[in-house]
Amino acid sequence: MVGLARSSMQYEAVERNDDALRLAMIRLAKSYGRYGYPKVAQLLRVEGWRVNHKKVERLWREEGLQLPQRHKKKRRLYHKDSSIIRLRPTHPNHVWSVDFVHYKLSNGRSLDMEEEFPLLF
């Protein structure tokens, strides 16, 4: 003999028609746009389908379903303290400007302007 088990020689694969499952999966993917295949598989199980996540993933890829690309949230270009919009002075001493707060010398030591020249500030 060949050395194979009798049961493996007699096994015939059963073709399953997954069209109804595909349609249910596509319907859920359209109605819940941000859900991926794991969440859709969970929703299918809630509806009563006996299906595991691997089959849903395979059908998901075969149907070419994808999640829409996430857009990065737009952030402000500047921090609120250093805004690009300049304040217009409405009264004296309303808007101040500071050129620099500290300065480094060539030897690496920092020079604090308030300590060196206290009368100017």
> How confident is the model over 48-104, as pLDDT tens digits?
999 999 999 999 999 998 887 777 877 665 555 555 566 677 888 777 666 556 667
Largest separation between any pair of C-alpha atoms in the chain: 107
Is 31 contained in some domain?
yes
Is 76 contained in some domain?
no
Is 117 contained in some domain?
no
Do 27 and 33 meet the contact criterion of CB atoms below 8 Å apart?
Answer: no
In which domain, by residue range, is 35 found? 16-63
Q: How does the average pLDDT of the chain come out, rounded?
A: 79
Number of domains observed in the structure of the chain: 1
Burial (CB count <10 Å: 0-12, 13-18, 19+), residue 3: exposed
Is 52 contained in some domain?
yes
- Residue 61, CA distances (Å) to 16, 26, 29 in order: 18, 12, 13
* CA–CA distance, 24 with 47 (Å, rounded to integer): 9
Is 10 contained in some domain?
no
Is 34 contained in some domain?
yes
